[in-house]
Chain A
Amino acid sequence: MTLKMIKYIFILLFFYTSLSGADESTNLIPDLKIKLLDGSKVSLHELVEEGPLMIDFWATWCVPCKKVMKYLDQYNQEYQSQGFKVLMINTDSPRSIGKVKSYIRSQKHTFKVGLDPNKVISKKLNGLVMPTLILVDKGGEIKWRHQGYLPGEEVEIEKQIKLLLNNK
């Protein structure tokens, strides 16, 4: 009986979520805490206090992730003065997590890198497809989601960032 009840509740919630998904203005990012590559900790709400935030999930073995990182780092530097920043959440398991900082340093990337080795954060933000980009405005509202990366999509990514910065 209990499981049946949960099923019905779940289905109700799912439809409610789907319908509400159309109205993205109600979609706030949760205040999740994340450990950064330098050993410090930060919460997502702290990061969006200063300005818009682009979250991207990646792993060292994911080739499309590495391709889009190059452009995200450019945007991180280019729009930093307007409060925009990029948070790259790494989902490498403990088996290759030791290689993350080495790779980031080799690419001279300047964005913040978070660690999510057992995919707790990526599950909470539905970022299991890699790369998954989530653009959040200063108030914490999710404004844009994007799954995967095909070459040329950096144009659309920059367009969305500019749109958000111009509307703030």
Chain B
Amino acid sequence: MISKIVGFFSFFLFLMALEANELDFNAGVNSSFGNSYDFYSFSENTLDLNIFYKNFQSWVQYEYSNPPDIGFPINDIRKFRMEYDSRNFLIKLGDIYEIWGRGLSLNQFDDQTTNFDNGLRGLFIEYNKNPFTISHINGSSEFWNLGFDLRVPYFKDKHNMIANRFQYEKGTFTLGLTQLQSNEVHSKQDLNTANVSHKINGFYTSLFMKNFDYFIEYVDKISTEEVISIGSLPNDSLKHGYGLYANYNIYLGSWGFLSEYKKYAFDSFHGDQNADDYGNQILYQQMPSLGKEHNSTLLGRLSHNYNFNDERGVQYELNGSFYDISLTAQYAHLSRNQTWESMSGPFDWVRKPLKSNLPSTDISSLPYYENYQELSGYFLSDQLYFKLGRGGNKEVIGTNWYYNGLQTDTTLTTTFNYDTSYSIYLPDYPIITIDSLVDTSSTSYNINAKNWRESKSYTIPFELNYSMSNGYTFGIGFQYQERKLVEKREGNAKSYNVAQSKWIMVNPDDHSETFKSSVSQLSYDGQNKSTQFNRLISLTVSKASKWSFSLTQDWTNAYEVQNVDPYYNPLEALIYGDLKYFTGDRDKVKPPSFIQDKWLSAEFIYYITSSQRISIMYGSIQGGLFCSNGICRLIPSFNDGLKIGYSASF
């Protein structure tokens, strides 16, 4: 029905354009194609058209992708929306994307690079009578989540959502009250579904002044599940949680200091969302993460896996400048809202809420620390640009066991009692009765057993560009990273014996004897590596407004999961001067050992006009974590392939 309305609406606008020539519009085209040696191929094409006619606006996005880089093949209208915007009324019909506050109750966006789309197809109405604004949304969404396949989604959750907002704005002061309810049909691992209802109520307030500003948002959330099994009460409360975010900034001259605090406690039992875990933070809620959004490839790969269900933290950032040098310094510390300790063995866990509202340093609360400092600026009459940074992070990824308590050893003693009295049945032998008496005397001693995985790294990104007056620019970028990923153990017990339900002591005769061990989880070709060294170097030459050429090499010495570059290509042979490749003395497919840990690619970008450009990339790109908008996904490597892109806006 909505499609029909939009169709007629677009047609109406088209006719109006022909008749009255009062129609304004713009269009954008994005096209990308890729094909690699190991059958990683995609073809994505989107056309965006915006039409404006007096108070009416219409947007249509058409997509032809077969297959896309990530998602399902499509040859259809992907998104559409029409809007009517008068002085007091704003009405939208179609695909709705809204943000209320900082997103603790509602933050919708469409990011095709990570296949994240939490938009809603429906109706949005807003009435504004200064200083009051009332907004209403209702409609439905389908969220697709990836399963084992890194490119094709598998699980689908359906939401029917209704949300309302009341906002008061006076000068630079804002107060908003929000309410959102969503009925979800959740797809589980076994492909059964669960009917879940979510209710979110919250408020936010902000004030912007010349030398300071603040923002605070709080939401309360209740989820209930429709229970249909006999004997259970229907609509049992499933989960109850809340979220708090606060931001306070101070500005003095050319310096700005940011401080942020968050406490998200929607579900402490399920930190990692999977198909069988529902009722916690829903995808409409996309909140501040309190982490630095990096533009360095190597730092981006280390992004923390933010936990929107159960995480608290603080972040501070200082921005300033002196002379022509800009400075940024950032620090963040996050942790879970509680510690998790083993009850006895490593399989039963008990949580203890943290005593303060600040993030914890305790290993069992999975702390995460990051810091980043950067200097950038211009020299030589703005001809030389430099950027030098240093980023460090440390994270406890998970605990296998964490026990601090007592273990009791019980001694069993069997006593035989001999009855030597005479028996008429066995006159030659005394009767022996085996009365085993158990001696329950026991000894207790303290166990301190910790086993966790920890990652620690530092990264130095560096960039230098020299621009000449004739429009040519030469640039070099270098990123260096050292990373350790270890499994650590410490305490007076080194492991746990499941059969005996007992901790195995380091020294059974001396319980006070402790040990520490640290085993690297990184390796290369089966050989353990204590440190992973990553280096990324890029050389760039460009001519202003015309073209740009860059050569990039990504180099590592160790992996968490082995992921060598499996294919050799002429670009790699050329750059490394491997004449054997061209004389036919080298295997054309399997790369020699000196190239297996390197990914090399070349990219050429040509500006057809100021608003149209085409890019061609050839080579290999290492897979790994890719983050955008705070959403991360693992991307497969792209080996020995070609990518072509075209973008234009009219």
Contact = CB atoms under 8 A, between A and B. Distances in A.
Query: Are A and B physically bound partners?
Result: yes
Interface stretch (B25-33, B266-274, B590-598): B25-33
A7 B109 contact: no
Interface string A76-120: 000000000000000011111111011101111000000001111
Nearest to A127: B649
Contacts, number: 229
A138 interface: no
Nearest to B171: A39
Interface in A112-151: 117-120, 123-129, 132, 142, 144-148, 150-151
A148 to B, nearest CB: 7
Given A95-B630, A118-B109, A152-B471, A61 B294 contact: yes
Given A2-B4, A95-B293, A151-B544, A129 B326 contact: no
A125 B25 CA distance: 9
A93 B306 CA distance: 15
Question: Main SS of chain B's interface residues?
Answer: strand
A13 B172 CA distance: 41
B160 interface: no
Contacts of B317: 99, 102
Given A13-B49, A99-B319, A101-B251, A152 B467 contact: yes
Interface string A56-69: 00001111001100
Contacts of A97: 102
Chain A interface bracket (under 10, 10 to 19, 20 to 34, 35 or more): 35 or more
B611 interface: yes
Contact of B545 (A11, A30, A33, A156): A156
B10 A13 contact: yes
A167 interface: no
A91 to B, nearest CB: 10
A5 B7 contact: yes
Interface in B48-100: 48-52, 57, 59-60, 62, 76-77, 80, 85, 97-99
Interface residues of B, number: 96
A28 interface: yes
Nearest to B475: A151
Contacts of A127: 649
A108 B291 CA distance: 25
B215 A98 contact: yes
Given A6-B10, A13-B10, 16 more contacts: A6-B3, A6-B77, A11-B62, A17-B27, A26-B21, A61-B294, A67-B385, A93-B286, A94-B107, A95-B291, A98-B249, A101-B256, A125-B50, A145-B610, A145-B611, A147-B613
Interface of A: 2-3, 5-7, 9-14, 16-18, 20-21, 26-30, 33, 37-40, 60-63, 66-67, 70, 92-99, 101-103, 105-108, 117-120, 123-129, 132, 142, 144-148, 150-153, 155-156
16 contacts: A2-B3, A6-B3, A9-B7, A10-B10, A14-B49, A16-B14, A21-B27, A27-B25, A118-B107, A123-B48, A124-B50, A124-B59, A127-B649, A145-B650, A147-B610, A147-B649
9 shortest interchain CB distances as A-B pairs: A102-B256, A152-B544, A39-B172, A21-B650, A39-B208, A106-B319, A126-B28, A126-B649, A145-B611
